[in-house]
Structure 1
Amino acid sequence: MSDKMVAVLRRQFEPTLEMLKHLIEVCPDDFWNDAKQKYWKHIFHATTSMKFWFRQQKDEQFNIPDFGKDITEALDEECSDYPTKEEMTKYAEDILNVAYKFIDELTDDRLLEPCVLYEEITKTDVILMQIRHVQHHIGYCNNILNSNHLEAVKWV
């Protein structure tokens, strides 16, 4: 394999995405619906961030879904509703496919190219920023689970 650095980035990114999916799976339904916890919102926020950053074209439309409900990905804004676990799973799968496509199109020679959104940020920066950002929210959700005597998602 000639694109060794892309392979390294993928090896670090894939477990992050697996952990994000596991957060949805392990959460009890009644806990998912608890507005005070904002558990689902951290997943939605992290996933929406990937949707923003992994765009392939600068003029590509960026819409945040609301699932026909009063929700927002903004962590500091209240919502009167929430997406179901099934809706969030589907949304996360769609965005994870976008993320994989972003990485699949890279070569080691292209890693330092500017991302399409901001010239001062490279494609490598985008991947590393998303790993860090998603892991932050995974840790936050794991803390919520632990604080409520529920089992946290295992590190992979």
Structure 2
Amino acid sequence: MSMSDQMVAVLRRQFEPTLEMLKQLIEVCPDDFWMDAKQKYWKQIFHATTSMKFWFRQQKDEEFKIPDFGKDITEALDKECADYPTKQEMTEYVEEILSVARRFLDELTDDKLLEPCVLFEEITKTDVILMQIRHVQHHIGYCNNILNSNHLEAVKWL
């Protein structure tokens, strides 16, 4: 990265800890809690990750398929699921999407930050990154609140 790509470096410094906190949410969650359909804890992580999968696409016609892990699940927060992904399945999905997000950032230079994203002309690539930081942090806070309200330790702010 050249000196002229300092803004990309700033965005990455804010984005990377957000991703790390998302991964930690999976690690700290007790198994019985993960499976509790009423808490919708895993669904918060699934929803946030799927959003990154949608927004960090590099081509407008790139396929957008939400995995179901062969189970009756959805990322839609307002829909019930009969099943849930395992913590291992969710960890692998998060890792896969994090590599997509990092590739998106790797392709950027400061000169490209204000270019339109491939999905919507009125939204810049910078908007996409900042929207995802805000969105993922919202769901991290939601999960941390679930953990705290059940006397479990929340993920530390990075």
Residue of structure 2 aligned with 1:59, choices 46, 61, 65? 61
Match of 1:7 in 2: 9
Take 1:67 and 1:4, find their aligned partners in 2: how far apart are those partners? 39
Match of 1:27 in 2: 29
Residue of structure 2 aligned with 1:80, choices 40, 60, 82? 82
Q: Give the TM-score of the pair, scaled to structure 1.
A: 1.00
Residue of structure 1 aligned with 2:71, choices 69, 75, 82? 69
Structure 1 unpaired stretches of 5+: none
What is the alpha-carbon root mean square deviation over aligned residues? Answer: 0.3
Residue of structure 1 aligned with 2:127, choices 121, 125, 128? 125
* Percent identity of paired positions between Structure 1 and Structure 2: 88
* Shift of residue 124, structure 1, vs aligned partner: 0.1
Residue of structure 2 aligned with 1:50, choices 49, 52, 58? 52
| Partner-residue secondary structure (3-state), 1:20 | helix
**Where do 1:134-145 residues align within 5 Å?**
134-145=136-147
Structure 1 segments of 4+ aligned residues over 4 angstroms from their partners: none
* Shift of residue 2, structure 1, vs aligned partner: 2.1
| Partner-residue secondary structure (3-state), 1:44 | helix
* Shift of residue 29, structure 1, vs aligned partner: 0.5
Q: Give the TM-score of the pair, scaled to structure 2.
A: 0.98
Take 1:105 and 1:7, find their aligned partners in 2: how far apart are those partners? 12
Residue of structure 2 aligned with 1:92, choices 91, 94, 97? 94
Take 2:35 and 2:65, find their aligned partners in 1: how far apart are those partners? 24
How many residue pairs align between the two structures?
156
Per-residue CA deviations over 1:108-147 (Å, capped at 9, x if unaligned) read 0000000000000000000000000000000000000000
